[in-house]
Amino acid sequence: MNVLNEPESGPGKLEFLQKSHLAMDADALLSDLSHYYTRMLGRRTLRTDTPFLYQALVHAVRDRLMERWNDTNIELEREGARRACYLSMEFLMGRLLHNALFSLDCVNASDEALQALGVELGQVEAAEQDAGLGNGGLGRLAACFLDSCATLGLPVIGYGLRYQYGMFRQHMENGYQVEDPDPWLRDGFPWEIERIELARTIRFGGRTTSVTDAEGRRRRVWVETRDVLAIPYDVPIPGYRNGVVNTLRLWSAEATNEFDLEEFNAGSYTEAVEAKNAAENISMVLYPNTATESGHELRLRQQYFLASASLQDILADWQRRHGPDLEGFADKHCFQLNDTHPAVAVAELMRLLMDVHGMGWNEAWEITRSTMAYTNHTLLPEALETWPVAMFERLLPRLLEIIYEINARFLDEVSIRWPGDNARLARMSLIDENGQRSVRMAYLAIVGSFSVNGVAALHSRLLREGLFRDFAELWPEKFNNKTNGVTQRRWLAACNPELNAVITDAIGEGWVTDLEQLDRLRQQVENTAFRDAWQSSRQANKARLAALVQSRTGVTLDTQMLFDVQVKRIHEYKRQLLNVLHAVHLYDRIRRGDGDDLVPRAIIIGGKAAPGYVMAKAIIKLVSDVAQTINGDPATAGKLRVIFYPDYNVTAMEAICTGADLSEQISTAGKEASGTGNMKFMMNGAVTIGTLDGANVEIRDAVGKENFFLFGHTVEEIAEIRPAYDPAAIIAGDEDFRRVVDLLQSGHFCRHEPGVHDAVVASFQQPGDPWMTAADFRGFVDAQQAVEAAFRDSGRWTTMSILNTACSGRFSTDRTMRDYNDDIWRLEPVKMA
Ligand code: 26V
């Protein structure tokens, strides 16, 4: 083994190398900053229009993180601590600089250091690109989990992919979404450390055969594979002021040298280049979330690449510390599967344990079943992943063999429990035999795990009673709920300094690591000085949001308006369309002279549509066109504005959630697994208008029904009315609704492109509309009137706002992570100085 390939061994070595920690005052930061700026980056003039000042500051901060990172890793090695691995295809991290400064408590020192150069910290921070390695809720949840685990000192390592291109960027052309690639690595990503010495080989293709090994045992082998290298890049995850730095390890695909050479020597240079490209394509781009465009082979390659690299990494690390014996391995590890995306890990762990480590089936299965845990994030049946058996066979023949064996043994178990129940066997089989045979990844995850959880109480109940009913009957003890949360460090303390100051003045700063302390704000609700401070901080945030909207769209918003916000991925089930129907209804009232006593309102909608999701894109076009018509009609002046906010992302949400008055959480009941934007808005003092869906149910329970605008049919009511659902009759029987539909159909919103909205306008009028938008129109409009009445009484609204923040304590990922740890991971927190 050459020096490069030798992993860090044993504690002691680094303790010897590492001197005392670097100082964190402004002088020390400024001196390091100028060192990196001039000597590493080779800059001679001070400029704020390039990313170099940002990069220099990152390096200065990273040095401080690195010390704590090393310390944390030494401590974890010394303890031989049990660890959890969070396997996720997505980590939607956003910007890292402010979070690092905040965690290390050197925001003020950095500010001061930059002041000396006449530069604002905010200006430098703005040079950072979002690390957009995720689509939406699922990826952002993973990022919040990492923050909370580091803050709680839980030894959790995130494993993901280092996509060259993250979530596409969105710009608007004539009201249409246009996608641009996201070359987020172009200027370098100064947070990461390449760990070439920990590279792994990942195998694809080939075939399986049997051989007799040295001990005379028959064994399956996987041969003639096309191999790809997985190179890890580590990103530090700082805990909040606790000296802990955890790791996010992202895998990047590279062609193997041997592979290149072989082809090259054979004289086929072009083929070698193509092969290299094919290999490196694996981590090229994040897939946008579309149920309609599933089944892409490259996506399965990505999934296996993540699962295999991460499991090999963990096994190699174990062997480095304990030698070849895997006794005790299961006691020290837990693998949390973020949805079914990494579920092939179940089969891959079996393969590694049997084919590489020589274990028998039963022993390997025991380890797998006691280390894997699966989290489901969706109730939409069409979003449940399946892979064509033929594709699996071509790409991962050995894995398919193992899945067949898991299935055979599992179905034996089912038929012992329910003899002769063949319908049940077909329903529960890991292989869907209807039509094109395919592997049901959710079932593989359930069978291979000791824990299966949903992400909100309602969602977990619906999984047990619906989607996974057969499995919950077989193994009731496996099923549990873990209600989502968000990290209050990013989503309140850092993104909302104004409200942070008001809260901290009133109750101290304990809430930053113990969000339930916000409950103490309830005692302040009658305190005039506190209420005034609350109000003025909210106004300041609305002004900040208005300025952002102005700069991004050119539309001016009056901060006295009700800021009514819906930002999230564009999907029919989330019903942005219902929001548009309401906007058109308000516009119609204004046009017919019934708008004088309306509360002035700005309806802000933002989000990306998957590039292949035609209806979602058509909804964006409708929002844009409705916005343009309404904003351009003099009759709406001072009364109504509609905004489509382009390129919504993590950084945008940091400003948006602080300035919203009303949070729109209006999905069809039973469709949104949890929602997490709802929690960010609540925490920042917005009031929710919502259906009884996902975590809305728990939000309403926490804040009280008088501080939440409820509307819409429940899950049970939806099921009841669906068979005879008649939207045409609903529209005909509702004067307001009829006028809205007439206005939409009149072409008023698409004068230059007749008919462009036809499909969207038809969609909610079909009896088969799965999202039953028309069924909730009246309830929604009425609830919006109740919103207006409350908002007009500014005292009442302030009370509701304070109570929303005060009651948001449960929705911290600190609580979520404690729940996972108590019931699933059972890790000991690490204590650093
Ligand atoms: C599916 C696919 C399929 C095609 C390729 C790319 C891709 C990427 C993601 C997904 C599944 C997304 C599921 C998801 O994001 N669920 C959301 O999870 C949040 C966190 O638990 C939750 O708050 C949201 O309600 C839920 O929709």
156-182 pLDDT, tens digit each: 999 999 999 999 999 999 999 999 999
Contact 679, 694 (CB under 8 A): no
Name the closest-CA residue to atom 6, ligand 1: 289
Average pLDDT of span 383-399: 96
Query: Cα(77) to centroid of ligand 1, in Å?
Result: 34
Write the pLDDT tens digit of every residue in 554-607.
Answer: 999 999 999 999 999 999 999 999 999 999 999 999 999 999 999 999 999 999
Write the pLDDT tens digit of every residue in 102-121.
Answer: 999 999 999 999 999 999 99
**Calpha distance 374→452 (Å, rounded):** 5
Write the pLDDT tens digit of every residue in 664-676.
Answer: 999 999 999 999 9
Write the pLDDT tens digit of every residue in 189-248.
Answer: 999 999 999 999 999 999 999 999 888 888 999 999 999 999 999 999 999 999 999 999
Residue of 90, 92, 133, 138 to test ligand 1 pocket, by largest number of atoms within 8 Å of CB:
138
Structure tokens belonging to residue 337: 């599967």
Residue of 88, 91, 296, 339 to test ligand 1 pocket, by largest number of atoms within 8 Å of CB:
339
Residue of 285, 290, 674 to test ligand 1 pocket, by largest number of atoms within 8 Å of CB:
674
Contact 379, 673 (CB under 8 A): yes
Query: Which of 347, 339, 417 is closest to 89 using CA atoms?
Result: 339
Residue 1 has pLDDT above 60, yes or no: no
- HSE on the CB side for 594, CA within 13 Å? 7
Query: Cα(139) to centroid of ligand 1, in Å?
Result: 8
Name the closest-CA residue to atom 16, ligand 1: 377
Q: How far is CA 184 from CA 37, 50, 51, 171, 649, in A?
A: 21, 15, 13, 16, 13
Write the pLDDT tens digit of every residue in 262-273.
Answer: 666 666 777 777
pLDDT value of position 648 = 98
377 is catalytic: yes
DSSP character for 129? P
From 249, 569, 575, 585, the catalytic residue: 569
Contact 228, 234 (CB under 8 A): no
Residue 14 has pLDDT above 70, yes or no: no
The verdict on the CB of residue 455 being under 6 Å from ligand 1 is yes
pLDDT value of position 507 = 98
3-state helix, strand, coil in the chain (%, to 5): 55, 15, 30
> Cα 609–611–616 angle (5° rounding)?
35
The verdict on the CB of residue 674 being under 6 Å from ligand 1 is yes
Contact 671, 569 (CB under 8 A): no
Query: Cα(700) to centroid of ligand 1, in Å?
Result: 23
The verdict on the CB of residue 386 being under 6 Å from ligand 1 is no
Q: Which segments of 181-244 are extended strands (E)?
A: 193-194, 200-204, 207-212, 218-223, 226-238
Q: How far is CA 540 from CA 498, 638, 655, in A?
A: 8, 20, 11
569 is catalytic: yes
Write the pLDDT tens digit of every residue in 626-652.
Answer: 999 999 999 999 999 999 999 999 999
Contact 90, 142 (CB under 8 A): yes
Write the pLDDT tens digit of every residue in 178-188.
Answer: 999 999 999 99
Contact 574, 613 (CB under 8 A): no
Residue 403 has pLDDT above 90, yes or no: yes
Amino acid found at 707:
N
The verdict on the CB of residue 675 being under 6 Å from ligand 1 is yes
**pTM, entire model:** 0.97
DSSP character for 599? P
Query: Cα(290) to centroid of ligand 1, in Å?
Result: 9
From 568, 582, 671, 815, the catalytic residue: 568
